[in-house]
Amino acid sequence: MAERKARAAGPETSRVQGADWSGDDISGQNHEKVLFVDLDMTEVENTGAVFTECTFRNVKFNVSVHHGAAFVNCTFAACKFYDARFADCKFVGSIFDRCTFDAMTVTGGNWSFAGLSGADLRTASFRGVNLREADLAGARCQGGSMRDLDLSGAWLRGADFSGCDLRGSDLSAVDPASVELRGAIITIDQTITIAQALGLDVRAE
């Protein structure tokens, strides 16, 4: 499978720099092609806000809570997501570069085509998330939790899932020769998928 090249957000039409939104409720806001620099979004409450083709540079999302929000085709550079919570949010086509995800929790939502290459997700938790065709090449997921995910068509080369809880996730895109799975937690059905990926002829008897 050829390596997917993530697409960066287009030219910005406005800029927000050094603003303090900490503790604000930004629910329902709509932003398109905005460059956010050094923005503090600590403890922000967000239900349904939409960000389209925006760029977030050195933005703090720490301890923020997002429900049903959308960050579509956005770029996140050197952002911090400590203990941020995202429920049923959309990050389709968004790119993450040099971001930190300590204790981040993602439940449901659509992150298909997202660019998380090389991301450190060891303490992050993803559950019930659509990550179809996402770029997780080289991602560090050791000991993390990535349950019930749609990883079909995902780019996983060089990813490390050692000790990661992968139960219920679609592992059809996993190449055991290029992904580290030692100690990963999976179900019996998933072992069959892995065995088939190794070229084994799995039979009932």
Q: Could you give the 3-state DSSP secondary structure of residue 191?
A: helix
Q: How confident is the model at residue 136 (pLDDT cuts 50, 70, 90)?
A: very high
In this structure, the number of other CB atoms found within 10 A of the CB of residue 46 comes to 23
Cβ proximity of 8 and 26 under 8 Å: no
pLDDT at 11: 66
| Amino acid, single-letter form, for residue 80 | K
Six-digit token pair at 45?
Answer: 């409450």
What's the mean pLDDT in 59-70? 98
Q: How confident is the model at residue 7 (pLDDT cuts 50, 70, 90)?
A: low
